[in-house]
Amino acid sequence: MELLSWLNELNESGTLPMKACKVTIIPCVQPLLDLLSSSPSSAFLNTRSLSAQIESLWKWLEMGREWALNADRFQQAAIEICAQITMSDFENFLSTEFSLRFLFGAKGCSTDAKLRYEKLTALVNALAEKARISE
């Protein structure tokens, strides 16, 4: 609901409210996400009305431009927010340590790298076999 009020204010005044800086969102990605989804709901694919497609895309591009123009301000706000957050490697799902613990467990994480590689190869082969069976 809060995002909707910010978007309305952005559409009406052309400026983003200062409180919107606490979360960084890139609205120009939304049309792409909608188009690439398995069940798009966007007006972009409404082939009956070309003007609706163009108007919708134009609004997203204008919003994306506004965000790009204020990128430095948003980046600074994100840095301030992220500086307050402390996260260990075991909580960060992008870290190697998290992936190792997720795939192999605490004991498997500390085993030899060659053994981990063999287990990962077996896991990938099992997934590939299941994919072939389901076809």
For 87-104, give the DSSP string.
Answer: --TTT-TTSHHHHHHHHH
- Comparing 69 with 25, the larger pLDDT belongs to 69
In-domain check, residue 54: yes
Residue 109's pLDDT is what?
63
Amino acid at 89: D
Q: Are residues 71 and 107 in the same domain?
A: no
- pTM, 2 dp: 0.33
In-domain check, residue 113: yes
Token reading at 27: 């609205």
Q: Which residue has the tokens 């053994």?
A: 115
Is the separation of the CB atoms in 91 and 98 below 8 Å?
yes
In-domain check, residue 90: no
- Cα–chain-centroid distance for residue 32? 12
Q: Are residues 104 and 74 in the same domain?
A: no
In-domain check, residue 88: no
In-domain check, residue 10: yes
CA–CA separation, 6 and 18 (whole Å) = 10
Lowest mean pLDDT among 2-16, 81-95, 113-127: 2-16
Which residues lie closer than 8 Å to 103 by C-beta, 6 or more apart? 119, 120, 123
Structural domain count, the chain? 2
In-domain check, residue 89: no
Q: Are residues 39 and 18 in the same domain?
A: yes
Is the separation of the CB atoms in 45 and 35 below 8 Å?
yes
Note the pLDDT tens digit of each residue in 91-109: 777 777 777 777 777 666 6
Domain span holding position 105 = 96-134
Note the pLDDT tens digit of each residue in 43-80: 556 667 778 777 777 877 787 788 778 888 888 887 88
The distance between the two most distant Cα atoms of the chain, rounded to a whole number of Å, is 61
Q: How many Cβ atoms from other residues are within 10 Å of residue 74's Cβ? A: 19
Helix, strand, or coil (residue 40): coil
